[in-house]
Structure 1
Amino acid sequence: RSFSRSNSSSGIGDSMDSATSKEQKQREYTTLGLPIVGGVSAEFFNVKKVAQTDYNSFVGSISALLAKIVEIRQLVSQCGKNDKDGKFIREMNHFLENAEKEMQLVSEEQTRVMQLVKRTTDYYQGGASKDSAGEQPLYLFVIVKDFLGMVDQACIDITRNMQKKKIPKAKS
């Protein structure tokens, strides 16, 4: 009997040691994992920036720039009457041609990027973007930004709770 009692009392101690060891491992994993999980938000910095982008301004910027190019072209043609050697007109026409080519490339890139955004939104929202595609195609980025905010807050809360557990409470 005494042998079985010593075994059972030793078993209780082992389970307490096991629980303490388990808690220490969990704390260690949490301590190691928090910087990694917290770093996810930094990795997605560009997603946060896109979430703040106004889609209508984004799309309208190309149209506005093209309108300014047309306006400049009209001014250049008016200045051509006063340009005696024609250097200014040649330089400005060359500049405007390059600007129009660049704007064409930017417009094509914008179309390509928006197609990728739409495909990504369709994938992650299961086709829900078809209903809201015209309203706010960049809404997926807002969702990700909000999620990253929740992850950051959870990391802060976990760190705060871990620090509270480290401070021993004074007994009265």
Structure 2
Amino acid sequence: MMESLFGYNLQNSVKNDEAKSKTPSPSKHVLEPKRLQNITILLKALNSTSEQVCNALVQGEGLSLQQLEALVKMQPTKEEEDKLSSYKGGFDELGSTEKFVKALFKIPFSFQRVEALLYRETFEEEVVHLRKSFSMLEEACKELRSSRLFLKLLDAVLKTGNRMNVGTIRGGARAFKLDALLKLADVKGTDGKTTLLHFVVQEMIRSEGIKDSIIIRETITQKRKTAEEKEEDYRRMGLDYVSGLGAELCNVKKTASIDLDVLESSVSNLSVGMSKLQQLVHGDLSTDDQNGAFVSSMNSFLTTAEKNLKELQEDERKVLLHVRQITEYFHGDVSKDESNPLRIFVIVRDFLGMLDQVCKELRSTKVPTSPSPLAPFR
């Protein structure tokens, strides 16, 4: 019934089973199954024969970044290398993956060569990235030091704080740490809405707007305006001026997201990689003429790379010095225990976010009828 309904042929099934039993036994495996599977996947991504890879390692060229990254991940542990090296069975009995890895052992310092080629392949991109980061830090320091508007804003905050603290031990202060900027929005007036930051910004807007308006009146002839129109002009000009601080300190905001530990670690890793490469080229491979092609290929790279690395390390030293100087400029002595040397940029970035929000709120409100924004604080 099954044969007639489904075309199932018992004889064919038996023959197939017999054929399967006659297939050759599976290849012998030396590596652990999971590790073998991972290397097999990487081998497929590599898409090259062992002969092609070995030739590239001898010549010191011919492998792409993706191929080098795959090869680095294939590098066997000392235990795995010992197992493959001490394997006594026939080479043909091994699986294709283990054959591939074992074939690379014929090249002296094969996986060290892979690391050297990967280092060369990624060196320039890493150097460019680090230089851009150091340049951004340098510009951020210059912006904080030279921004006239930022210094005027700090001056306004200091005067406002002293005026509010008259008669107390906090009155008459000559300076304050930038952390205080983030607390301005926490001090609210009697109306429950106006904050100390609103007040400082309004005063800055008015004073700077008046100055700009006077300059304009001196350069061009204007029609006579009412007090309300003049007030609106002061407000608009001053608001445009104050709200431009974020653009003026654009590199400060970008720098706040930088992880200095990562930058320092990257420079350190480049230095360590350079030392390994020098040892490989000038030491391990220098005694055998058969390594000449690889040594020659890497020597041409080392000539410029060593110079670039020294320049990068000097850039790092200068930038870290400038970061320390700008922090001391605003905060006095810098504690050695400071977990984040770039904290000052984080503070300013967060403050600029608060400032932008206040400017947006003020831009959407009408000119206050009362000329004294200090009223809510009395």
TM-score by length of 1: 0.68
- CA shift digits 1:106-127 (9 cap, x unpaired): 1111111111111110110122
Q: Which residue of 1 aligns with 2:244?
A: 39
Match of 1:99 in 2: 305
Quick one: structure 1 residues 91 and 158, their matched pair in 2 at CA, closer, same or farther if it must change by over 3 Å?
same
| Contact in 2 for aligned 1:83/1:89 (Cα 8 Å) | no
Shift in Å, 1:39 = 2.2
Correspondence 1:50 to 2:266: no
> Equivalent residue for 2:323?
117
Pairing of 1:65-80 with structure 2 (within 5 A): 65-73=270-278, 76=281
The structural deviation recorded for 1:23 is: 3.3
Instruction: Identify which of 6, 12, 30 aligns with 2:235.
Output: 30
Query: Which amino acid letter does the alignment assign opposite residue 160 of structure 1?
Result: S
Task: Give the letter aligned to residue 259 of structure 2.
Answer: D
Is the alpha carbon distance of 1:87 and 1:36 closer, same or farther for their aligned partners in structure 2, counting shifts above 3 Å? farther
Matched-pair contact (CA < 8 Å) for 1:38–1:155: yes
The amino acid of 2:247's aligned partner reads A
Cα distance between partner residues in 2 of 1:83 and 1:51: 52
Name which of structure 1's ranges 49-58 and 64-73 shifts more when overlaid on structure 2. 64-73
For residue 161 of structure 1, give the secondary structure of its aligned residue in structure 2.
coil
1:142 is aligned to 2:346: yes
Q: Which residue of 1 aligns with 2:21?
A: none
Question: 1:13-68 CA deviation, whole Å, 9 max, x = no partner?
Answer: xxxxxxx9333322212212223322221221211111111121121110011223
Give the SS at the match of 1:137. coil
d(CA) in 2 for partners of 1:139, 1:50: 10
The aligned amino acid for 2:317 is: T
Which ranges of structure 1 fall in alignment gaps of 5 or more residues?
1-19, 164-172
CA RMSD for the aligned pairs? Answer: 3.0
Matched, 1:90 2:296: yes
Per-residue deviation, 1:82: 8.8
Post-superposition offset of 1:131: 4.9
Unaligned residue ranges in structure 2 (runs of 5+) = 1-224, 368-378
Residue 168 of structure 1 corresponds to which residue in structure 2? none
Cross-structure match for 1:59:
264
Structure richer in helix, relative to its length: 1
Q: Rg bigger for which structure?
A: 2
* Matches of 1:132 and 1:117, distance apart in 2: 15
The verdict on how the C-alpha distance between 1:69 and 1:85 changes in structure 2, with shifts beyond 3 A counting, is closer
Q: Does the 8 Å CA contact 1:122/1:130 hold for their aligned counterparts?
A: no
Letter in 2 for 1:130: S
- Percent identical pairs in the alignment equals 36
Q: Secondary structure at the match of 2:243?
A: helix
Cα deviation digits, residues 66-96 of structure 1 (max 9, x gap): 2233344456566778986945533421312
3-state secondary structure, aligned to 2:258: coil
| RCO higher in structure (CA 8 A, sep ≥6) | 1
CA contact (8 A) 1:80 1:89 kept: yes
Q: What is the aligned length? A: 143
Tell me, yes or no, if the aligned pair for 2:285 and 2:291 is still in contact at 8 Å. no
Maintained 8 Å contact 1:48/1:145:
yes
TM-score w.r.t. length of structure 2: 0.34
Give the aligned partner of residue 226 of structure 2.
21
Pick closer, same or farther for the CA change 1:95–1:39 going to 2, 3 Å: same
1:122 partner SS:
helix
